[in-house]
Amino acid sequence: MPAALIVLALSAFAIGTTEFVIMGLLPEVAGDLGVSIPGAGWLVTGYALGVAIGAPFMALVTSSWPRKAALLTLMSIFIGGNLFCALASDYQMLMLARVITALCHGAFFGIGSVVAASLVPANRRASAVALMFTGLTLANVLGVPLGTALGQYAGWRSTFWAVTVIGVIALIGLWRVLPNKTDEVKADFASEVRALRGAGLWLALSTTALFSASMFALFTYIAPLLGEVTGVTPNGVTWTLLLIGLGLTVGNVLGGRLADRNLKATLLGVFVTMVVVSTVFSWTSQALIPAEITLFLWAIAAFAAVPALQVNVVAFGSGAPNLVSTLNIGAFNLGNALGAWVGGLVIAEGFGLTSVPLAAAILAVLALVATLLTFNTRAPKTELALTE
């Protein structure tokens, strides 16, 4: 196991924690800054849109850079953004800080996943990407529950101070351990844009966005749903987030292994499972034990798709792996924004929190349809090994 993969996973842990922990702290942030829960939910949307907009821009800016230098620069932006979050004095400043932090997110995961894949043999690429994204799942196992508990105890700002420190440690690790040469691919702007041709690529990106929308329609409002519908205490929400994080970790590892064997079957199976489990949760959310079991199964299904979706997109745009991989992270976060908006709209229109899982199920159906359309297109011959 290359040490660089561990450092990339640590970086993913830091970035994942700052992205997801806000969902566990929505009640605290809303109360402190004097906004509603749906209003605080826009902090999720703002971050996601920052990733979606910043990802292709940062990918193009850093396309001619050595990948190590690009990752170090992006992690430095991440540290500065979190410091700004910790110091934000009002809602507007916190939103701006979240957007600044988000600028590094897409390009870091995009370039980082390409680096991770370059460190292992071709038949282990999905597993290598999954290992890097294990940091993201551990952010849900440890970072989000601990960050939520810290924020509830010492104020939500303390969580962002803690993430800033983790970011500094990750930056030092990247500088010390990451190889100076990571199969660099020289590309100019024109060649990067040419790699974006083809219906298969855009269908694959759409699949990613719809998957993420399904996941975040539910995940964004999990804390108020658990508190108001299931009757879970704030301390219980922390433990439930830990349970969800464990499910995400299991799903990420399982998804990487399954995708190495059969990419199409993995994605189709994941989306069918998400449709069923999300629908079931709209009923089980009203009782503690059934709700916890359902959320654990939902988490496994959700993150089983992540490494498969990343490999799927790169297969259709191998001519510019940095840009295409980064665009996929942007698609993830565009879906995050869409999902948070859909969930908030369901609540604001008076359908109730128990309708949020049903909205998530509908979005998962759309992801399933997009997957079927994607695999009905033909990838270039040199890329078929990754898609079939």
- CA 33, 34, 35: angle at the middle one, nearest 5? 100
What secondary structure does DSSP assign to 58-99, as a single string? HHHHTTTS-HHHHHHHHHHHHHHHHHHHHH--SHHHHHHHHH
Question: CA-CA distance, 29 to 35, in Å (whole number)?
Answer: 8
Residue 320's pLDDT is 66
Look up residue 122 and give its DSSP letter. Answer: G
Q: In tens digits, what is the pLDDT along the chain, a chain of 388 residues?
A: 578 888 999 999 999 999 888 878 888 888 888 888 778 888 888 887 888 788 778 877 887 788 889 999 999 999 999 999 999 989 999 999 999 999 888 888 878 887 887 777 766 767 777 788 788 778 877 888 889 889 989 999 999 999 999 999 999 999 988 877 655 555 555 666 666 676 778 888 999 999 999 998 998 888 889 988 989 888 888 788 888 888 888 888 888 888 878 888 899 999 999 999 999 999 999 889 999 999 999 999 988 888 888 778 877 766 666 677 778 877 887 888 899 889 989 988 888 888 999 999 999 999 999 999 988 875 444 343 333 3
Residue 84's pLDDT is 94
Q: At what angle do helices 3-24 and 234-261 cross, to 10 degrees?
A: 140
Q: 383, 378, 126: which is closest to 266 by C-alpha? A: 126
Residue 73's pLDDT is 94
Residue 124's pLDDT is 73
- CB contact at 8 A, 99 and 55: no
| Phi/psi of residue 155, nearest 5 degrees | 95, 145
- CB contact at 8 A, 159 and 25: yes
Question: CA-CA distance, 59 to 352, in Å (whole number)?
Answer: 40
Q: 115, 279, 236: which is closest to 181 by C-alpha? A: 115
* Sequence-ordered alpha helix ranges (H) in 220-287: 222-225, 234-261, 263-284
Residue 388's pLDDT is 35
Question: CA-CA distance, 334 to 51, in Å (whole number)?
Answer: 8
Residue 188's pLDDT is 54
- CB contact at 8 A, 281 and 294: yes
Residue 1's pLDDT is 57
Residues 6+ apart with CB under 8 A from 193: none
* Sequence-ordered alpha helix ranges (H) in 25-66: 26-33, 37-61
Q: Which amino acid is at 206?
A: S
Among the four given CATH numbers 1.20.1250.20, 1.10.260.40, 2.40.110.10, 3.30.310.40, the one describing domain 3-387 = 1.20.1250.20
| Phi/psi of residue 119, nearest 5 degrees | -90, -5
Q: Which amino acid is at 142?
A: L
Burial class for 306, CB neighbours closer than 10 Å (0-12, 13-18, 19+): buried
Residue 115's pLDDT is 84
Q: How far is CA 316 from CA 22, 200, 217, in A?
A: 33, 6, 28
Q: How far is CA 188 from CA 71, 112, 322, 329, in A?
A: 19, 20, 12, 21
* C-alpha 18 chain-centroid distance: 11
Q: 163, 211, 196: which is closest to 63 by C-alpha? A: 196
Residue 189's pLDDT is 55
